[in-house]
Amino acid sequence: MSLTPQRMSGKRQTQPDEARLHPRARGGGVNERENRKRSLAKGLLAGLVGGLVATVAKSLAERVYPPRTHGEPEPPVLLAEKVAKHGLTVVRKETAAETIHWGFGAATGAAYGALAEYLPIVTQKDGASFGLALVTLTHEGALPVMGLSAPPSEQTPRERTSEMASHVVYGIVTETVRRVVRRMLR
């Protein structure tokens, strides 16, 4: 570590080179975390807001590039019927599917916000890694195991790429909004 003379308020002082570097270059935390205390509640809230906004963005992305183009049922619809243990009316099916869709978006956003608060590495790639991890856990893992979607080997290339793209959008929007909300909650 070398010392560099600096002029501050007319006085000559020495300061380590590392102190003048950006926090990441000093080996510090990712983003703004060095200057604030961790808070589980604030992390959850920021992630929840991020997850809700990201759910809107993901829905819009799926309108542009839909994963299912032949009228196949959406996983939330299948889950609603499975939980009810019988067929549902169209209105109840839509209501249950929307509740599951928004609830999952909010819950995963909140969980992400809590993780980001204590494990900053999850925010790498501005949330894109989170989106890819989520699609892997859900559409390539849990949903096929639960019988709510085809196994990855039987999914069409369009379904797989659409789900990946829309989940990357979800992850990036979640992180972007979470970061802004978290700064506001200092």
Cα gap 82→182, rounded to integer Å: 37
pLDDT band for position 10 (cuts 50, 70, 90) = low
Residue-wise burial string across 21-56, b where 16 or more C-beta atoms lie within 10 A, e elsewhere: eeeeeeeeeebebeeeeebeebbbbbbbbbbbbbbe
pLDDT band for position 26 (cuts 50, 70, 90) = very low
pLDDT of 178 higher than 70: yes
Please indicate whether residue 28 or residue 49 has the higher confidence score (pLDDT).
49
Report domain extents, the chain.
37-184
**pLDDT single digits (tens) 90-109:** 999 899 999 999 999 999 99
Q: What is the mean pLDDT of the chain?
A: 85
